[in-house]
Amino acid sequence: MSLKQYIQDNKSKLDDQEVSLDLNSKFEQRLKAELHQPTKGKLIYLKYVSIAASIVILLTFSINTINNTKDKNELLANLTNDSAGTRLEGVYHFDDSYTKEDNQIIEILIKILHNDKNDNLKIATIDALLKFPDNETIRTNLITALDNEVSPLVQIKLIKSVSILRENRAQKPLKKIIENEQSIPIVVSNASLAMNNLKL
């Protein structure tokens, strides 16, 4: 019996006369039951809203995952392209867009650092790698590159990088540059300055 029906059936007892205690307690019980019991319609509505919200969250996550995968694949294709300009574009995109370390991309950037013939590309790659100064693989490879690099422009960039990182393990390749008679004066000057900074 609904609350409305109960009130109609007991209307004669609810006039100006004093309501009995028994009737009053029954009325309170029915009122509480009506007010605190969710209707079937509300439950169905909430169920559908929950399902819809779950679907929206799932779709958003799926779309983001697809976009991220597509973006990464495009970046990997650019970084391994035959054109130095396209590779440079890929390095700039990584530098601008990536805030989290991605080992696969970092591995390709390290290959560029060691093997690419284009000095501008190597310099841009060093900047991109420096976004993650705590990455041990990056730090080690910057030191290795400094030990092997022969291009003065790239040497200077590497010298400044190991100096910024306060990488004491770079003292050996710095000393090698300083003592090498074929090193040009500006490179020797930068190496000496970095060596002094590391010793402080």
| Inside any domain, residue 50 | no
**pLDDT at position 199, please?**
83
Task: Name residues of the chain where pLDDT drops below 70.
Answer: 1-28, 30-43, 45, 48, 56, 59-68
**pLDDT at position 79, please?**
94
CATH number, domain with residue 189: 1.25.10.10
| Per-residue pLDDT reduced to its tens digit, 11-22 | 665 554 555 555
| Inside any domain, residue 172 | yes
**pLDDT at position 75, please?**
92
Range of the domain at 76: 67-199
The two structure tokens encoding residue 85: 């300009």
| Inside any domain, residue 28 | no
| Inside any domain, residue 6 | no
**pLDDT at position 71, please?**
86
| Inside any domain, residue 135 | yes
| Inside any domain, residue 16 | no
| Inside any domain, residue 137 | yes
**pLDDT at position 59, please?**
67
How many domains are contained in the chain?
1
| Inside any domain, residue 47 | no
Taking the whole predicted model, whether its pTM rises above 0.75 is answered as no
